[in-house]
Structure 1
Amino acid sequence: MSTSSNAAAVEARGITKRFGPTVALNDAGLTIKQGETHALIGRNGAGKSTLVSILTGLQRPDAGEVRFAGEAAPPLADRDAWKARVACVYQKSTIIPALTVAENLFINRQTEGKVINWRAMRARAAALLDQYHVDVDPSGLAGDLGVEQRQLVEIARALSFGARFIILDEPTAQLDGPAIGRLFDRMRDLREQGVTMMFISHHLEEVYEVCQSVTVFRDARHIVTSTVADLPHDALVAAMTGEHAVTYEAKARTIDAKAKVVLEVRGLNSAGRYHDIDLTVKAGEIVGLAGSGSSGKVGLAESIVGLRRADSGVITINGKRPKPGDVPSALAAGVGFVPQDRHHEGFVPLLSVGENATMPIAGKLGRFGMISPERRRARARTMIQELDIKTEGPDQPVGDLSGGNAQKVVMARALVDDPAALVVINPTAGVDVKAKQSLLGSVEDAAQRGAGAVLVSDELDDLRICDRVLVMFHGRVIKDVPRGWSDNDLVAAMEGVSHE
């Protein structure tokens, strides 16, 4: 069949997909023009991930069809044909850390003969990286790359198959401001080279910055497709939620000057990460940590909960000094923790909601080393209700949940033992508007019950619930900003423009 030069780069028509009784997509679809960057937006569970699996040939729709440049999609079994048409850079990296960059770029394509010519493969990798302006050593281990570099390597690998349509699934969720800017510059360069992209993000301001068109899914259905310029922010949120935009309002809170100190850090140092950190958090207080990706804020938070060991200094949690660099010791001292990467550190996907949520209190759910399944389910049901986790019940595997609900399970685990101190890192990354409200509300509820909290976030809206925000720059705390700050003042401090 001949194709027209005016044919859309990608069309998904009348797509329906069911998983048992669940309708994941209901007569949904979208059309993406050649050479445009098209946003796919929707709350967790709207059907975005299912559509991605169908557009990449990993799932077959129950009804409907997919076309690339006017031609029907290839059979599912023809993986090479799919790779030549479409590639997806997932939020969860598919780079293999133990292999070199060159090996990742040409995995299963190292050679056409029986013997691998390593020098030739590295040369091919260097040429490919140079072609797409990716400044990475092809001989280096992929595991040593940062998030930004891994994403660029995955994009280069996709393009090396000949694909001219790339799906970017939450690519900014783990990047700081400067890295996001560089990614967007690269996306604009690729667009000028004729590459078509589908961009999935929960950060709506990014849609307006880098996309030309947008499609909104809600409840497994297509709601609207529009040029970005013709869809105001409030209308976009209304299409996502079926409601008008609601800004999260932080709860009024007064910190008792005589409140107990539940978390104290004195003289904490870690070479290359942070220097001379002093921090005090009282019961009922929420303290934010803000700064760029290189500011040291994540490393500091991870040291408090024992994921990293500081070189010097003292950490005191609820009057106890946990063993440095020891997570069980920090948990025993009374800390609850939401890690930066829920996929690798937050939950065990094959275990149930109940098993994940009650992991820190497993020893309290039975006698003589035996866990009572009914007591675990009962506690899990309470957490499911309190955090409004959308699940079939305590026995459903967490890996089956949407991203926002999986993050709520991680939050439930952090709160299940009523911690004296709560440390949360980027709790709303990659979740939708309503899930953000629920997650931030649960942090405020914990403070209301008397916990002290440290909230690390790249999102200014997250930090608005904080009583004060400590701004870090190049490993040092440079400013203590009370509630009521303006975006301009806080961003300027984070970028080192106005620090004193």
Structure 2
Amino acid sequence: MTPGVGDTVADGAPVAEAIGVSKRYGATVALRDVHLTVLPGESHALVGRNGAGKSTLVSLLTGLAKPDAGTLRLDGRAAPAFGDTGAWRSRVACVHQHSTILPELTVAENLFLNRQSTSALRPIRWKHLRRRAAELLGTYGVDLDPASRAGELTVVQRQFVEIARALSFGTRFVVLDEPTAALDAPGADRLFTRLRDLRQQGVAFLYISHHLREVHDLCDRVTVLRDARHVLTAPVAGLGRDTLVAAMTGAPEGRAPARHVPAPARRDAPVLLSVEDLTLPGACHGVSLTVRAGEAVGLAGSAVSGNVRVGEAVAGLHRFRAGRVEVAGRALRGGDVPGALAAGVGLVPEDRHRQGLVPGRGVDENVTLTAGARLGPFGTVRPARVRALAGRLIEDLAIGTPTPTTPVSALSGGNQQKAVVARALATGPRVLVAIRPANGVDVTAKEFLHGRIRRAVTDGAAALIVSDEPDDLRACDRVLVMREGRITAAFATGWSDEQLVAAMEGITGSAEGEET
């Protein structure tokens, strides 16, 4: 526990309590008799598999939904009436995984959105607004220019602005939903430092994350939900990973998941992906690599390394300044997505919400979006073919959906990610580019997706796995490390997390002599 916080936690009344809360949506039980207590100055983790009930509990604690049974209390008092937005905002705030900061506005305008003036009849005093913003940022130790455009901020800076805005309403309780999903390691460290500072000021956090290492690094206690029920609340100190995973999954403690042991692809296997001297403006310079049939190659790097842009370029999303990309000997044009699809490239994009899904359409339409040639002749789409292909993909990826036509937005995060992977595999790609393929999913779904991608490789595809997560890269036959737009290191199997992270951060830059 953070020094100095322990007394506050012990002596203060809870900032948030859910006492036997239940919630049902039609025939679906989203929560059943769930309990949660968050203390002042505490960082309390909320974990569970996708669909366990975490999002529903957060919607109750933030006033977005009303419980069917049970009691909610904030600061030792009954929660505000449902629909009283102002009262809820002064008692609890939620910083979502996807930023609500408006990029075209300044930092000051975002901090006081819809509160720029004390009266609707009084003009906005811009100098006064920027001064108020500077004072607010200074209170919470955030060093930003209030006049700067929010669109120019880094991801972690935008999160600081969101947290400061939430606290400006007077709340001392903030829900953080997957706050590190878009951060590299240094960004996550800066965020954690700021959160620890805020806890010293008595701010409490409910921390939702699928990264169990973060739970151990940052949180005092953890609550586990499974199948809409409360399973465990315990101090994080002394709680082993196996115990936590067992609580989340219901599997016997100590049963280690089966792991693939990569074996190098045969040297005579055909090269399915060749990247030669690729240069992308502002991203990379002179990047070269090859991936053979039956091989998975990791492309590791921080958020600013350029590795994501390389993966996206292979899939046709970016024009090349220089260099050449070939799939099975066929040269690709930069910025030509249809050409990349026709050549046999499947893409799992970095952000399923912005790049991977059409939220208003059904699961069947989403998983078959890239398979136009298999759905009917001359550009036509035959509904029977859509149903047949979608049914096979839903079964193959074990997508939990009530019906194939259910809107994909109604699925849990893990099932949405499975739908994105299904779409990438729908064409039977020669080359699969998977960018952070298990981002934002629970431990069981993560292992399933890694296994499904590995199966595609075993069947003869080439995979380029782009990520900064060691878990994503562990099943790769080789891992290349990018830093500052160049490949700086290469690892065969048997690397440790410490070696990989050190290479990504530039602590060591020596390559291991592996073929790229």
Q: Please confirm whether the aligned pair reaches a TM-score higher than 0.5, indicating the same fold.
A: yes
The match for 2:92 is: 86
Contact (CA 8 Å) 1:9, 1:196: kept in 2 or not?
Answer: yes
**Equivalent residue for 1:190?**
198
d(CA) in 1 for partners of 2:470, 2:268? 29
The superposition leaves residues 135-166 of structure 1 with CA deviations (integer Å, 9 ceiling, x where unpaired) of: 33322332332221211111011011111000
Kindly, what percent of the aligned residue pairs are identical?
55
Give the stretch that moved more between structures: 182-191 or 258-267.
258-267
SS of 1:360's equivalent in the other structure is: coil
Cα gap change, 1:238 to 1:493, in 2 (>3 Å):
same
Give SS of 2:482's match: strand
Within 5 Å, give how 1:59-208 maps onto structure 2.
Answer: 59-113=65-119, 114=121, 115-208=123-216
The separation in 2 between residues aligned to 1:128 and 1:174, in whole angstroms, is: 25
Q: Distance in 1 between matches of 2:134 and 2:321?
A: 38
Judge conservation of contact 1:381–1:393 (CA < 8 Å) in 2.
no
Query: Is residue 274–residue 291 contact of structure 2 (8 Å, CA) maintained in 1?
Result: yes
Q: Give the TM-score of the pair, scaled to structure 1.
A: 0.96
Q: Which residue of 2 aligns with 1:13?
A: 19
Amino acid at match of 1:124: R
Q: Pick from 204, 217, 225: which aligns with 1:209?
A: 217
Deviations 1:424-453 (A, max 9, x none): 111111100110111101111111121111
Paired position in structure 1 for 2:297: 287
Distance in 2 separating the partners of 1:82 and 1:362: 47
Going from structure 1 to structure 2, the CA distance change for 1:182 and 1:449 (only over 3 Å counts) comes to: same
177-186 vs 226-235, greater mean Cα deviation: 226-235
Partner AA of 1:75 in structure 2: A
Give secondary structure in 1 for the equivalent of 2:381: coil
**Partners in 1 of 2:407 and 2:399 — Cα distance?**
13
Distance in 2 between residues matched to 1:62 and 1:318, nearest whole Å: 57
Structure 2 equivalent of residue 228 of structure 1: 236
Q: Secondary structure at the match of 1:93?
A: coil
| SS of corresponding position for 2:32 | strand
Q: CA RMSD in A?
A: 1.6
Q: Confirm whether residue 54 of structure 1 aligns to residue 60 of structure 2.
A: yes
2:410 counterpart residue number: 400
1:33 to 27, 33, 39: 39
Q: Separation in 2 of the partners of 1:145 and 1:332?
A: 37
Equivalents in 2 of 1:186, 1:10: separation in Å? Answer: 22
Q: Is residue 251–residue 444 contact of structure 1 (8 Å, CA) maintained in 2?
A: no
In the TM superposition, what is the alpha-carbon distance from 1:367 to its structure 2 partner?
Answer: 4.0
- Between the aligned partners of 1:418 and 1:138, the Cα distance in structure 2 is 50
Does structure 1 conserve the Cα–Cα contact (< 8 Å) formed by 2:437 and 2:449? yes
> Normalising by structure 2, what TM-score?
0.93
Look up the match of 2:513: none
The separation in 2 between residues aligned to 1:331 and 1:110, in whole angstroms, is: 48
Does the 8 Å contact 2:49/2:443 carry over to 1?
yes
Measured after TM superposition, the shift of residue 299 of structure 1 is 1.7
Q: Distance in 2 between the 1:487 and 1:368 partners? A: 49
Amino acid at match of 1:147: V
User: Would you say the 8 A contact 2:108–2:130 is kept in 1?
Assistant: yes
User: Which secondary structure does the structure 1 equivalent of 2:330 belong to?
Assistant: coil
Q: Distance in 2 between matches of 1:368 and 1:309?
A: 28
Question: 1: CA distance between counterparts of 2:15 and 2:455?
Answer: 47
Match of 2:371, SS state, is helix
The separation in 2 between residues aligned to 1:302 and 1:145, in whole angstroms, is 23
Deviation at 1:381, TM superposition (A): 1.2
Residue 443, structure 1, aligned to residue 449, structure 2: no
Structure 2 CA distance, aligned partners of 1:136 and 1:310? 34
Structure 2 unaligned regions, length at least 5: 1-9, 511-516
Deviates further, 113-122 or 475-484: 113-122
Work out the number of aligned pairs and report it: 497
2-side partners of 1:442 and 1:386: how far apart?
A: 9
Q: Offset at 1:252?
A: 4.7
- In 1, are the aligned partners of 2:294 and 2:460 still within 8 Å (CA)? yes
